[in-house]
Amino acid sequence: MPLMLSSHLSSYISWPSPVHGLEPARVFPRMKTEQIADFSHARHEADARLLGLVAAGDSAALGELYDRFSRPLYATALRILNDPGEAQDIVHDAFVSVWEKASSFETTRGTAFSWVLTLTRNRAIDRLRSRRRRHELLETSTPSDLGLDENTSGPAANLAASTSDQASTLRAAVAALPADQQRALKLAFFSGLTQEEIAARLETPLGTIKARIRRGLLKLRDQLANRL
Site of interaction with other proteins (CB under 8 A):
44, 57, 59, 62-63, 66-67, 70-76, 78-79, 84, 87-88, 91-92, 95-96, 99, 108-111, 113-114, 117-118, 121-122, 125, 150, 156-157, 159-164, 166-167, 170-171, 174, 185-186, 188-190, 194-195, 210-211, 213-214, 217-218, 220-221, 224
User: Which letter does DSSP use for residue 120 in this model?
Assistant: H
**Rounded Cα distance, 134 and 125, in Å:** 14
Nearest distance from C-beta of residue 178 to other proteins, angstroms? 15
**Rounded Cα distance, 12 and 190, in Å:** 35
Nearest distance from C-beta of residue 128 to other proteins, angstroms? 13
Nearest distance from C-beta of residue 180 to other proteins, angstroms? 15
> Judged by CB, which is closer to other proteins: 13, or 23?
23
Nearest distance from C-beta of residue 116 to other proteins, angstroms? 9
**Rounded Cα distance, 37 and 221, in Å:** 13
Burial of 158 (0-12, 13-18, 19+ CB in 10 A): exposed
> Judged by CB, which is closer to other proteins: 138, or 184?
184
Q: Are 79 and 154 in contact (CB under 8 A)?
A: no
Nearest distance from C-beta of residue 127 to other proteins, angstroms? 14
Residue type, 73: L
Task: Give residues with Cβ within 8 angstroms of 210, minimum separation 6.
Answer: 195
> Judged by CB, which is closer to other proteins: 70, or 131?
70
